[in-house]
Amino acid sequence: MPREYVFAIVHTEAGNYGIHYPDYPGCISGGSTLAEVVYRGAVGLNFHVQGMVEDGEAIPEPRTPDEWLATEEVKEDLANGGIAMLVDVDLPRDSRWVELSIENRLLRQVDKAASLAGQSRATFLADAARARLSDAD
């Protein structure tokens, strides 16, 4: 999957942080530090997008920061102390739902590694397949 940067707004209140993505309504996350909220936000966005893929929903094409900075929504967020950020995420393109069987123990290892990498299971497995295929070249 191509790496892309998605525009996000981070808010802080009483020592806590929140993040949301104007291009992905309903995808929000929180944390106690800026680093934590950005990490959790990226993981949350990857899971949110993966859920959209699994539900057969179209993935919105992210707008550029300049496009978002020109909107009233973002102007208001920034005027109220929001921080504009670009978050590095994996966005699937032309994905297809597939079913496969995998040993339970291996699946647990994949899920743990994917979580540590901040990826969904599907992204982790696709990256592993790409790495293996590039090794074969």
Q: Are 56 and 11 part of one and the same domain?
A: yes
Q: Residue 7 in contact with residue 63, Cβ under 8 Å? A: yes
pLDDT at 1 over 50: no
pLDDT tens for residues 74-108? Answer: 899 999 999 998 887 767 666 667 788 999 999 99
- The pLDDT confidence band at residue 123, using thresholds 50, 70 and 90, is confident
Q: Residue 132 in contact with residue 124, Cβ under 8 Å? A: no
Q: Are 77 and 118 part of one and the same domain?
A: no
102-110: which pairs have CB atoms within 8 A and are 24 or more residues apart?
none
Q: Are 71 and 112 part of one and the same domain?
A: no
Q: Are 75 and 8 part of one and the same domain?
A: yes
- The pLDDT confidence band at residue 3, using thresholds 50, 70 and 90, is low
Q: Are 75 and 115 part of one and the same domain?
A: no
The three-class DSSP label of residue 70 is coil
- Taken in order 83, 85, 89, 95, the sign of the CA dihedral is positive
Q: Looking at the 3D structure of the chain, how many domains does it have?
A: 2
Residue type, 101: S
Q: What is the mean pLDDT of residues 125-129?
A: 87
Q: Are 87 and 137 part of one and the same domain?
A: no
pLDDT at 126 over 70: yes
Question: Which helix (H) or strand (E) element contains residue 53?
Answer: helix 34-54
pLDDT tens for residues 8-58? Answer: 999 998 889 999 998 888 899 999 999 999 999 988 998 888 788 777 788
Question: Domain residues for 56?
Answer: 1-93
Residue type, 7: F
